[in-house]
Amino acid sequence: MLLPIFLLLGWWQLQRAEEKRQLQAQYDALSRDEPVWISRHQESAEALRFHRVRVRGVYEPRFQILLDNRVQQGQAGYHVLTPLRIEDSDMRILVNRGWVPLGESRARPPQIDTPSEPVEVLGVATLPSEVPLKLVAPPGAGAWQLVWPYLDLASYRAAAGFQVQPVVVLLDPQSPAGGFERHWTRLDAGIAVHQGYAFQWFALAVALLAVYVYLGVRAGRAAPSAEDEEAA
């Protein structure tokens, strides 16, 4: 009963690895294209995903958030996400400006320097994970929540009270637009993980089959033969 389950789980992990490989191929192809300009109009998340993008505007540090539990080279810290108000509009877009260390303690977040003049942002458009964010106070329910455990755009829009484009821009490592440490992980990091899981499931299937054969042979040898029964 367990053997087909192990085989199906291994095959599923191989399929997940193939999906990640296709995403990586898409990312590599789009990374060679010219950057797409993001305008004041609401954009489609799927249309911008993995594209290199450009956008001009002014940072609004008042609605900046720090994503907690971001580790780099064994050191805890935050990712700094700052909304950029797109020029000549009321539309914003979140820019991940990179990683900063934890600071003195979690009770005293680090001071974040933010350019006050208009900037041109260059980076890669990514989709944030859509998960409930329970620690964010709703609009009008208190002070702005600075440190977030993860990003949910719906909760962010509700807390900030303005429209935000459906993507987050990973600021290019060479961009001078007020960034910090930016060592973005390649998308193919998940391929090897899924392949490893697949190997484990297939190894369990082989081990299970080997144990089954071994116990069957052992049981066969231990069973009394017909001649033995007649002699008895």
pLDDT score for 136: 46
Tell me the two tokens of residue 158: 């509700």
Tell me the two tokens of residue 87: 């020029």
pLDDT score for 167: 94
Domain that holds residue 155: 35-184
pLDDT score for 82: 97
- How many domains are contained in the chain? 1
Q: Which parts of the chain sit beneath pLDDT 50?
A: 132-133, 135-141
Q: How far apart (Å, rounded) are the C-alpha atoms in residues 172 and 121?
A: 8
The answer to whether residue 79 is domain-embedded is yes
- 67 closest CA partner among 80, 48, 52: 80
The answer to whether residue 93 is domain-embedded is yes
Q: How far apart (Å, rounded) are the C-alpha atoms in residues 116 and 60?
A: 8
Q: How far apart (Å, rounded) are the C-alpha atoms in residues 102 and 88?
A: 35
Whole-angstrom CA distances from 208 to 5, 73, 214 are 11, 39, 10
**Per-residue exposure over 11-25, b if at least 16 CB sit within 10 Å of its own CB, e if not:** eebbebbeebbebbe
Q: How far apart (Å, rounded) are the C-alpha atoms in residues 177 and 175?
A: 5
Whole-angstrom CA distances from 112 to 56, 97, 103 are 20, 11, 11
The answer to whether residue 165 is domain-embedded is yes
pLDDT score for 231: 53
The answer to whether residue 27 is domain-embedded is no
Tell me the two tokens of residue 119: 């900037």
The answer to whether residue 199 is domain-embedded is no
Q: Which contacts qualify for 30-34: CB closer than 8 Å, 24 or more apart?
A: 31/124
Beta strands (DSSP E) in the chain are 36-37, 52-59, 65-72, 75-86, 92-101, 119-126, 147-148, 164-171
- pTM for this predicted structure: 0.73
pLDDT score for 104: 75
pLDDT score for 37: 92
pLDDT score for 133: 46
The HSE-up count of residue 158 (CA atoms within 13 Å, CB side) is 13
